[in-house]
Structure 1
Amino acid sequence: MKTLEYLLLGSAAAFPAGAMAAELNLICSADVVICEKLVSEFETSHPEIDVNMVRLSSGEAYAKVRAEARNPQTDLWWGGTGDPHLQAAHDGLSTQYKSPMLDELQDWARGQAETSDYHTVGVYSGALGWGFNTEIFADKGIEAPQCWADLLDPALKGEIQIADPNSSGTAYTTLATLVQIMGEDEAFDYLKKMHANVSQYTKSGSAPVKAAARGETGLGIVFQHDAVAQAVEGFPIEVGSPCEGTGYEIGSMSLIDGAQNEEEAKIFYDWVLTPEVQNMMPDAGSYQIPSNAAATPPKEAPDLTALKLIDYDFAQYGSAERRKELLARWDEEVGSLPLQ
């Protein structure tokens, strides 16, 4: 097993004492607290590398990497749903890298790497669902939703928030999940009906449940671990998982093609796949399932084996063509509708 100490020794040999500090330009598509935790821990263990981190949602990150394709300003993209990472791989925006940590990863994490011809890799996983404010629901006499169909209840008018799938990987996963469960035409009919209950389409995928935690809305459609994080903080949030089945994410990581600091990016890439680093994540409020098989899943994390997960087609819904088709249709049929 490649231990954390092994990787640290390797980085020390690469940057001898007295050398000018190297740099790493990182996009992080997880919650900002998680991003800052990773950067702080990495710079503490790798003082020879300064990390320049920007936090962007998955859709924003893909757009930035694409816009900079001729002159990349990003070295590594960590986190966020796997679909845009797969699209970046398809578009030649990321480059192939086979980490020495691959053999230690869960099957689904290695599968993500194989699907992309090793242009991306799974770093965590989590199931889609929602979090709702139990106090708001009790005050308004709203029944706790059990299924996707329940989100059409007129009692929820103005009480649902979900992100925009153009900027948010969470929301795109929701869109792709509903298409796979219902069929495309039926899914868009459902989304147009649910629109009557939506108060806001946010930019960030986790923002809806944070708004629910603050009492600004009743329910946020999010990855369940984001709802768990709010409940652990003491907010009156209950986690829901739809009875019809639900999709899930493989949070991913990609080395950018033409990276200016490729060796530093590889050091971070290998480091963040170790169990020691992945075991730190709950300290930053991250309750996803870690990709290293030797890492310990947080006790608060939803048990994926107990949920009704669909056979999510990452290859199809991570392809550039399918994403563009679905997002264009969403813009035309859902995003263009006025909010009530």
Structure 2
Amino acid sequence: MRGITAFSAVAALWLASAGTGIAASSLTVLCGVDEMWCAAMKTAYEAKTGVEISVTRKSTGDILNQIRAEKAAPTVDVWWGGTGDTHLQAGSENLLEPYQPAHERDMLPWAQNFFAMSGGRSAGIYAGALGFAYNADLLRELKLPAPTCWKDLTDIAYRGRIQSGNPNSSGTAFTTLATLVQLFGEDEAFRYLAALNHNIERYTPSGSAPIKAAARGETLIGISFMHDAVTQKQAGFPLVIVAPCEGTGYEIGAVSIVKGARNIEEAKRFVDFALSPEGQGTGAASGQNQVPSNAKSGLPLAAPDISMIKMVDYDFATFGSPEERSRLLRRFDAEIAATN
């Protein structure tokens, strides 16, 4: 309930700012992070600059599809948040505008590497490890074993008790797919996904939805980024967060300017703000627990220590390519989704 109340308060601020009487927004942003952070960023940027902006929350895959569809006449200026491999894909399709941010030199090494990999088209704003979480109260009630590994999730005990995102729309779920391929090899990963599919209650459009469902006791286990689970745990929900024993992948969330943006100069100012300690601080202020990319930014106290988690050497270049992403999604649709 505390999380719902907090969201209502932030949403009220968002709606109030939209009713200021200004005729039109001078910047349009598609937001790929949690709704509360989207709202907090809008409020903070407007308070700092006096410029009204339009911020719409969508899943990462849906944002990519919209930017593709509007390539000839973009209605979006900035894509803020969401998994970096999807930003890389958009950059490789010439959908993003190169820009050298003011704070690029303050970025941590992983963010600087990501910026170079993108050809200067996308900048990393946060990092977070993938994992899953289960509802401890529900687990105890059902008298089930606690899962600690990816392969535990295929146990028949969890039949119909797991939610995961749909990788066609969810950047989180595509990161899961790419992580499993890198952990187990592609064919073994798809055999694993076929076994896991028997236990999946629902593939959600949003990557954060499974963890929220687990928090509320609507499902037992949600596969998501660990920082999203931490946010729910901080709100008082009985979640146990798991870094899978085999290892796991991670995301670099990014910000990009859309090629052909109508408000290019304001878009550049927004990117600079998003990479500043002040802009990145809106994450922790809205209850988010990602690791910020600016070395001068404060680390949220509850952020998972990714240095202590067994991580794959995530291949952003390969899994951010249009060809590889499209091929893996086609295989997922044919071998996994088609069996539901």
TM bucket (normalised to shorter chain) is over 0.9
CA drift of 1:53 comes to 1.2
Alignment correspondent of 2:43: 40
Specify which of 207, 210, 213 is matched with residue 208 of structure 1.
210
CA 1:162/1:21 → structure 2, altered by over 3 Å: closer, same or farther?
closer
Alignment correspondent of 2:10: none
**Rounded Cα–Cα distance in structure 2 between residues aligned with 1:142 and 1:170:** 26
Specify which of 152, 166, 169 is matched with residue 167 of structure 1.
169
Give the TM-score normalised by the residue count of structure 1.
Answer: 0.92
Q: Are the equivalent residues in 1 in contact too, given 2:248–2:311 (CA < 8 A)?
A: yes
**Rounded Cα–Cα distance in structure 1 between residues aligned with 2:42 and 2:319:** 30
Length, aligned pairs only:
319
Specify which of 28, 31, 37 is matched with residue 31 of structure 2.
28
**Rounded Cα–Cα distance in structure 2 between residues aligned with 1:283 and 1:214:** 23
1:1-340 to 2 correspondences below 5 Å: 23-47=26-50, 49-338=51-340
CA drift of 1:20 comes to 9.5
Structure 1 consecutive aligned stretches of length 4 or more whose deviation exceeds 3 Å = 19-22
Q: Are the equivalent residues in 2 in contact too, given 1:105–1:292 (CA < 8 A)?
A: yes
CA drift of 1:242 comes to 0.5
CA drift of 1:269 comes to 0.5
**Rounded Cα–Cα distance in structure 2 between residues aligned with 1:39 and 1:84:** 23
CA drift of 1:144 comes to 1.4
**Rounded Cα–Cα distance in structure 1 between residues aligned with 2:44 and 2:278:** 11
Residues 63-113 of structure 1, C-alpha deviations (whole Å, 9 max, x = no match): 000000000100000000011100000000001101121000111111111
**Rounded Cα–Cα distance in structure 2 between residues aligned with 1:103 and 1:255:** 19
CA drift of 1:275 comes to 1.0
**Rounded Cα–Cα distance in structure 1 between residues aligned with 2:49 and 2:298:** 24
Q: Are the equivalent residues in 1 in contact too, given 2:31–2:38 (CA < 8 A)?
A: yes
Moved more, 140-149 or 231-240: 140-149
CA drift of 1:128 comes to 0.2
Residues 231-280 of structure 1, C-alpha deviations (whole Å, 9 max, x = no match): 00000011001011100000011110000000001111001111122123
CA drift of 1:299 comes to 1.1
**Rounded Cα–Cα distance in structure 2 between residues aligned with 1:95 and 1:280:** 25
Give the TM-score normalised by the residue count of structure 2.
Answer: 0.92
Residues 162-193 of structure 1, C-alpha deviations (whole Å, 9 max, x = no match): 00000000000000000001010100000000
**Rounded Cα–Cα distance in structure 2 between residues aligned with 1:284 and 1:337:** 39
**Rounded Cα–Cα distance in structure 2 between residues aligned with 1:141 and 1:132:** 13
Report the 3-state secondary structure (helix = DSSP H, G, I; strand = E; otherwise coil) of the residue aligned with 1:33.
helix
Alignment correspondent of 1:6: none
Report the 3-state secondary structure (helix = DSSP H, G, I; strand = E; otherwise coil) of the residue aligned with 1:279.
helix
Report the 3-state secondary structure (helix = DSSP H, G, I; strand = E; otherwise coil) of the residue aligned with 1:79.
strand
Q: Which residue identity does 1:285 align to in structure 2?
A: G
Aligned-residue Cα RMSD (Å) equals 1.2
Report the 3-state secondary structure (helix = DSSP H, G, I; strand = E; otherwise coil) of the residue aligned with 1:230.
helix
**Rounded Cα–Cα distance in structure 2 between residues aligned with 1:78 and 1:184:** 30
**Rounded Cα–Cα distance in structure 1 between residues aligned with 2:144 and 2:296:** 42
Q: Are the equivalent residues in 1 in contact too, given 2:82–2:171 (CA < 8 A)?
A: yes
Residues 127-164 of structure 1, C-alpha deviations (whole Å, 9 max, x = no match): 00011100111111111111111001111111100000
**Rounded Cα–Cα distance in structure 2 between residues aligned with 1:78 and 1:280:** 13
Q: Which residue identity does 2:127 align to in structure 1?
A: S
Report the 3-state secondary structure (helix = DSSP H, G, I; strand = E; otherwise coil) of the residue aligned with 2:97.
coil
Moved more, 309-318 or 140-149: 140-149
**Rounded Cα–Cα distance in structure 1 between residues aligned with 2:128 and 2:188:** 25
Q: Which residue identity does 1:34 align to in structure 2?
A: W
CA drift of 1:308 comes to 0.2
Structure 2: give runs of 5+ residues left out of the alignment.
1-21
